[in-house]
Structure 1
Amino acid sequence: MNKFSVFVKESYREMVEKVSWPTWEQLQQSTMIVLGATIFITAIVALMDFIASGSIKFIYSLFKG
């Protein structure tokens, strides 16, 4: 149990004294970048899905008769 309490104390000390936390502005900027990238990648995947679906339907229609 002593090791655990030492671990908790050291972890708390590191989080308070050694970690550099982002400012509110930096956090907002990072959030907007992640949100923009997520929307962009989602649009690309949706476009690829649409193209693949159309291609597969076209190929099936060729063999359907």
Structure 2
Amino acid sequence: MAKVFNYISEAFTELKSNVSWSPWSEVQRYTIVVSIFSIVLALATWGVDSLFGEVLGKVYSWIRS
């Protein structure tokens, strides 16, 4: 158990002293950019999926008749 505690303690020490963190304003800006891009990409994927669903539905109904 002491090894686990020591590992976690060293990890936190390294995070505090050796990692360079971005300024909070930059993190907020990038979070907004990623969120907007994710929403746009999700809507584009939904649109393409809906379009292909409609096209395939018409093709299958054309093949059945």
TM-score by length of 2: 0.80
Following superposition, the deviation at residue 9 of structure 1 comes to 2.9
What's 1:60 paired with? 60
Aligned residue runs from structure 1 range 1-65, under 5 A: 1-65=1-65
Kindly tell me the number of residue pairs found equivalent between the two proteins: 65
5+ unaligned residues in a row in structure 1: which ranges? none
Task: Provide the rounded CA distance (Å) in 2 between the counterparts of 1:2 and 1:54.
Answer: 61
CA distance in 2 between partners of 1:33 and 1:62 (Å): 43
One-letter amino acid of the counterpart of residue 58, structure 2: F
Note the residue ranges of structure 2 that are not aligned, 5 or more in a row. none
Question: In percent, how many aligned pairs have the same letter?
Answer: 23
For residues 2-55 of structure 1, what are the alpha-carbon distances to aligned partners after superposition, in whole Å with 9 as ceiling and x for unaligned? 433432332121011111122220111111111111011111101111111111
TM-score under structure 1 length normalisation: 0.80
Compute the RMSD of aligned alpha carbons: 1.5
Distance (whole Å) between structure 2 residues aligned to residue 43 and residue 17 of structure 1: 41
